């Protein structure tokens, strides 16, 4: 079946269209300005129409810093409105004074940052000192890393002129590349209306090291920055379309838009369009439907997932589908499985596609972590989500070609494999699934046969493998997978593990139930002065459905390899955070059912 389907996906125009469309989308989005995103959205609509998709929709979401979905506040629209520059006022040759300039690269400004006064801001440069933010008053601050909210908010309150950010570690690989410093919010990725704003520039490691050398020599370094930016109430968009089958049940290919690199993620959008084109032209009879969803990463993806405007049952994310790291550094492809909280047979199917159609490709299987690329696997959202990509660390969001460029030939191959995968998911008959089932079962139990696990870890793995197979019964009515029989040989007797300390004893008596889908993010239910930063493990959090004790959810996430060991003090901190969330309506607690007193 697989080789015959692959032969149907051999359109010779795939590579040229994939490259052309990726670069067209990126040409509009590389400005990092909201005012250009409407045009890139319209381009994607036209590409979908040309590829033969139907029911094409462009859905507007308010980008106003107030509207929210789930626990995500939609960021305000933002743009720089004129040339933004940062220069060393003295002590350097005039031709070397300009160290950040949007005429050189749009990445020189940090998205969402605030403006300077019209004539700019001039002041001394100092190193970032987390213990004494007040020392930055009236000064520019040099910071190594992404200037997230925990960095920029104290500096803004202290009256700093602005932040000069760099990334020295990535600069070891290319000192003249710039890091895209996104995600600078305090509660979530983006600033909230109440957050203070600072001008924030991004400079190359070479330029930052020159500043560091002068500071180390006790020289006074004076900078002048001119930042012309604005926030405003705008719109962000979701583009979605379908290739209809006999049933309206849908497999979705998802990719995000509105980021400034060809590889992240204009190529993911273009690849999904091409995979849909191949599927449509292949002549495969579709029993179920394909949908594509292209929108802002996580925030408006969540909004669409939680809407009533689809019938998505499972999804495949193509973010960072074919970066150069596989070719240049021999990184393997990564296949992220579904969540341990919501297993899906698609985990197994794509591995079978690789076995048959691309046995030369190295594929590393990694667990679904409910990250921004796989969060659909939250049972409260109900969309098991896989992710096919290649790791890009330590080059993430770096203008170096290692991250920014696309491996076009790899992308072409993966487009064909995704089309084959979609053809099986949507077109295979019950008889074909029955014939495929034994091989899927062997793939499911392979991690069990190869590992020497303790009984508790083995139980989690057996339950997950059985869940992967059992999910196929929902997709193919009448199919018997004998899921439990497939894993029974690998199970080990499990003995209860008593609580090891007072904190674990307390956690064993607590039964929380989530009241909102997703993991707390922007804390929309909490007044701004009462918000506090939380560090929650997504898998542990989504397992809190009222049926398991808090201790059980922690141990399950740990045994799944998705949560590290937690100390007694760490468990006490987790309980404190959960009580805090409970007080604002994120969770409910039922102790009466356990014979406790509230």
Q: Do the domain assignments include residue 573?
A: yes
pLDDT at 597: 37
Which of 341, 375, 334, 309 has the alpha carbon at shortest distance from 71? 375
In this structure, the answer to whether residues 288 and 209 fall within a common structural domain is: no
Check whether 43 has a pLDDT greater than 60.
yes
> What pLDDT, in 10s, does the model give residues 65-105?
999 999 999 999 999 999 999 999 987 777 789 999 999 99
In this structure, the answer to whether residues 175 and 299 fall within a common structural domain is: no
As a whole number of angstroms, the distance between CA 348 and CA 239 comes to 29
Q: Do the domain assignments include residue 494?
A: no
Q: Do the domain assignments include residue 497?
A: no
Check whether 26 has a pLDDT greater than 50.
yes
- pLDDT mean over 290-313: 96
pLDDT at 452: 83
> What pLDDT, in 10s, does the model give residues 158-169?
999 999 999 999
Q: How confident is the model at residue 595 (pLDDT cuts 50, 70, 90)?
A: very low
Give backbone dihedrals phi and psi of 239, rounded to 5 degrees, phi first.
-110, 130
Of 232, 252, 277, the residue that ends a domain is 232
> What pLDDT, in 10s, does the model give residues 392-419?
988 999 999 999 999 999 999 999 999 9
In this structure, the answer to whether residues 328 and 277 fall within a common structural domain is: yes
Q: Give the percent of the chain with pLDDT over 70.
A: 99
pLDDT at 592: 46
In this structure, the answer to whether residues 453 and 515 fall within a common structural domain is: no
Q: Do the domain assignments include residue 550?
A: yes
In this structure, the answer to whether residues 70 and 186 fall within a common structural domain is: no
Q: Do the domain assignments include residue 181?
A: yes
CATH number of 25's domain: 3.40.630.10
In this structure, the answer to whether residues 187 and 288 fall within a common structural domain is: no
Q: How many residues appear in the chain? A: 598
In this structure, the answer to whether residues 299 and 371 fall within a common structural domain is: yes
pLDDT at 93: 78
Q: How confident is the model at residue 30 (pLDDT cuts 50, 70, 90)?
A: very high
Dihedral through CA 429, CA 440, CA 321, CA 390, nearest 10?
180
Of 183, 204, 232, the residue that ends a domain is 232
Going from the C-alpha of 79 to that of each of 72, 174, 570, the distances in angstroms are 21, 27, 41
In this structure, the answer to whether residues 203 and 274 fall within a common structural domain is: no
Taking the model in full, what pTM does it have?
0.96
3-class SS string, 536-582: CCHHHHHCCECCCCHHHHHHHHHHCCCCCCCCHHHHHHHHHHHHHHH
Check whether 490 has a pLDDT greater than 50.
yes
Which of 436, 445, 447, 420 has the alpha carbon at shortest distance from 472? 436
pLDDT at 591: 57
> What pLDDT, in 10s, does the model give residues 525-555?
999 999 999 999 999 999 999 999 999 999 9
Going from the C-alpha of 299 to that of each of 111, 145, 532, 540, the distances in angstroms are 16, 23, 20, 21
DSSP assignment of 345-398 equals THHHHHHHHHHHH-TTS-EEEE-----TTTGGGSTTT---EEEEEE--TT-TTB
Check whether 370 has a pLDDT greater than 50.
yes
In this structure, the answer to whether residues 67 and 81 fall within a common structural domain is: no
In this structure, the answer to whether residues 228 and 277 fall within a common structural domain is: no
Mean pLDDT of the chain: 95
pLDDT at 593: 42
Q: How many domains does the chain have?
A: 4
Of 394, 411, 427, the residue that ends a domain is 427
Which of 521, 531, 505, 506 has the alpha carbon at shortest distance from 583? 531
As a whole number of angstroms, the distance between CA 147 and CA 594 comes to 46
In this structure, the answer to whether residues 479 and 560 fall within a common structural domain is: no
CATH number of 211's domain: 3.50.30.30
Instruction: Indicate the SS3 state at residue 136.
Output: helix
In this structure, the answer to whether residues 472 and 513 fall within a common structural domain is: no
197: containing domain: 77-232
Beta pairing class for 140-144 and 121-127:
parallel
């Amino acid at each position: 079946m697989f080789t015959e389907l692959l032969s149907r996906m051999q359109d010779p125009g795939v590579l040229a269209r994939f490259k052309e469309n990726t670069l067209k989308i990126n040409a509009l989005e590389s400005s990092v300005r909201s005012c250009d995103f409407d045009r890139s959205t319209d381009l994607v609509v036209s590409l979908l129409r040309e590829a033969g998709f139907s029911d094409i929709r462009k859905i507007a979401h308010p980008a106003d810093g107030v509207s929210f979905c789930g626990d995500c506040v939609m960021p305000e629209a933002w743009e720089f409105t004129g040339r933004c520059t940062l220069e060393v006022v003295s002590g350097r040759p005039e031709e070397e004074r300009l160290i950040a300039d949007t005429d050189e690269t749009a990445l020189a400004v940090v998205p969402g940052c605030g403006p300077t006064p019209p004539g700019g801001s001039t002041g001394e440069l100092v190193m970032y000192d987390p213990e004494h933010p007040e020392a930055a008053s009236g000064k520019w601050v040099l910071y190594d890393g992404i200037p997230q909210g925990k960095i920029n908010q104290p500096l803004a309150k202290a009256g700093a002129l602005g932040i000069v950010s760099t990334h020295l570690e990535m600069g070891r690989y290319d000192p003249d590349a710039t890091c895209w410093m996104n995600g600078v919010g305090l509660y979530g990725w983006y600033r909230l209306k109440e957050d203070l704003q600072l001008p924030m520039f991004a400079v190359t490691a070479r330029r930052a090291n020159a500043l560091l050398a002068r500071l180390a020599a006790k020289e006074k370094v004076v900078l002048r920055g001119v930042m012309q930016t604005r926030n405003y109430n705008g719109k962000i968009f979701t583009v979605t379309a379908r290739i209809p089958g006999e049933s309206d049940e849908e497999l979705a290919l998802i990719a995000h838009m509105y980021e400034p690199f060809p590889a992240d993620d204009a190529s993911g959008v273009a690849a999904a369009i091409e995979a849909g084109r191949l599927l449509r032209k292949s002549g495969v009879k579709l029993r179920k439907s394909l949908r594509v969803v292209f929108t802002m990463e996580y925030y408006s993806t969540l909004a669409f997932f939680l809407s009533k405007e689809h019938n998505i049952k499972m999804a495949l994310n193509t973010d960072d589908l074919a970066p150069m790291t596989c070719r240049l550094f021999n990184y393997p492809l990564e296949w992220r499985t579904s969540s341990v909280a919501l297993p899906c047979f698609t985990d197994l199917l794509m591995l079978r596609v690789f076995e048959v159609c691309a046995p030369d490709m190295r594929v590393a299987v990694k667990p679904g972590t409910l990250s921004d690329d796989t969060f659909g696997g939250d049972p409260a959202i109900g969309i098991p989500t896989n992710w096919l990509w290649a790791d890009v660390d330590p080059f993430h969001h770096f203008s170096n070609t290692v991250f920014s460029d696309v491996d076009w030939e790899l992308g072409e191959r993966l487009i064909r494999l995704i089309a084959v995968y979609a053809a099986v998911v949507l077109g295979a008959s019950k008889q074909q699934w029955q014939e495929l089932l034994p091989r899927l079962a062997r793939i499911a139990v392979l991690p069990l046969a190869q590992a020497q696990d303790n009984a508790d870890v083995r139980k989690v793995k057996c339950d997950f493998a059985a869940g992967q197979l059992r999910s196929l019964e929902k997709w193919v009515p009448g199919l018997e997978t004998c899921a439990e029989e497939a894993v029974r040989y690998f199970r080990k007797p499990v003995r209860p593990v008593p609580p090891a300390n007072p904190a674990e004893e307390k956690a064993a008596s607590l039964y929380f139930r989530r009241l909102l889908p997703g993991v707390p993010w922007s804390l929309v239910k909490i007044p701004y002065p009462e918000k506090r930063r939380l560090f929650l493990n997504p898998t542990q959090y989504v397992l809190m459905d009222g049926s398991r004790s808090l201790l059980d959810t922690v141990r399950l996430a740990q045994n799944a390899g998705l949560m590290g060991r937690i100390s007694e003090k760490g468990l006490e901190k987790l309980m404190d955070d959960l009580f805090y969330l409970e007080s604002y309506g994120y969770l409910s607690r039922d102790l009466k059912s356990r014979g406790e007193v509230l």
